[in-house]
Amino acid sequence: MTQTLVLYDILSNLPGNNWSPNPAKPRLVLNYKGLPFVTVWVEYSDISITMKAIGAKPNKRSDGTDVYTVPVLSDPNTGALISDSLEIASYLEKTYPEKAVFPNNSESLIREFDSAHFRFIIPGVKPIFARSTEIMSPASAKFFIRVRSIDVPLPWDATYGEDWALLEKGYNTAYEWYQKTDGKWFMGDTFSYADIIVASCLLWYKRILKEDEWVRISSWNGGKWAQLLADVEKECELA
């Protein structure tokens, strides 16, 4: 019998807590594969302290310095402690291969997709970051701003029209990718981690944005993104 895995995620003041896109990815994979897990909620400002305490490995910033992040997955069945959402997905696929999220040897392709997806989101992410600070404790919001503004310079403002236009432009690109397949998923009729990547960011927006802002995103590309999120949540049996 599989022992319960432990997922470290970021605390918020939202009902149910969950909001951050990177922890959402392993959460969806765990749900999809039907693996038992519990969540340990961590204040954003306490990530480094908590991850060092459990012995998690840091990731590398673009400048080569260490940074402790979540998600982190602890698996008592194997003793593994895995950092980074993509590496967690890869580990879960190898360790629990039932219900593949990298079907047809697609992991290398989806790793490239993950990088491309990040590149099209980041130019328009300022309004999303601005709203994210509103659902954290004051200490965590301050820390989030200090850390994230290294890569996405201030000021952040949810009302910036230009940033919304840049985000929409990125999703127009993603829409073209999806249009090249015959089915509703990135790989046509085959569900994969690529769809989880996209849905995790959409879930982030839906959780932290004002209602009219989420409606705006929901209207892009003929309602494609609200539908994709709903489809992924259903596929992963996410209540």
The span from the first CA to the last CA of the chain, in angstroms, equals: 24
Q: What is the distance between the alpha carbons of residues 200 and 188, in angstroms, rounded to a whole number?
A: 19
Q: What is the distance between the alpha carbons of residues 50 and 86, in angstroms, rounded to a whole number?
A: 20
* Nearest residue to 117 (alpha-carbon basis) of 44, 42, 197: 197
Q: What is the distance between the alpha carbons of residues 186 and 76, in angstroms, rounded to a whole number?
A: 33
| pLDDT, mean of each 10-residue run, the chain (239 residues) | 96 96 98 98 97 92 83 98 97 98 98 96 96 97 94 91 94 96 96 98 98 96 98 90
pLDDT of residue 61: 75
Q: For the domain 5-95, what is the CATH code?
A: 3.40.30.10
* Nearest residue to 193 (alpha-carbon basis) of 103, 122, 119: 103
Q: What is the distance between the alpha carbons of residues 70 and 57, in angstroms, rounded to a whole number?
A: 11
CB 238 within 8 A of CB 30: no
Task: Output the six-digit token pair for 19.
Answer: 């909001």
Per the rule left: phi > 0, alpha: psi between -120 and 50, beta: everything else, 160 is: beta
At residue 70, what is the residue type?
V
pLDDT in tens, 83-126: 999 999 999 999 999 999 999 999 999 999 999 999 999 999 99
pLDDT of residue 146: 94
Q: Any idea which fold 103-235 has? A: Glutathione S-transferase Yfyf (Class Pi); Chain A, domain 2 (1.20.1050)
Task: Output the six-digit token pair for 197.
Answer: 């990547």
CB 96 within 8 A of CB 29: no
CB 91 within 8 A of CB 82: yes
* pTM of the predicted structure, to 2 decimals: 0.96
Q: What is the distance between the alpha carbons of residues 56 and 61, in angstroms, rounded to a whole number?
A: 16
DSSP 8-state symbol, 153: P
| Extents of the domains making up the chain | 5-95, 103-235
pLDDT of residue 239: 59
pLDDT of residue 87: 97
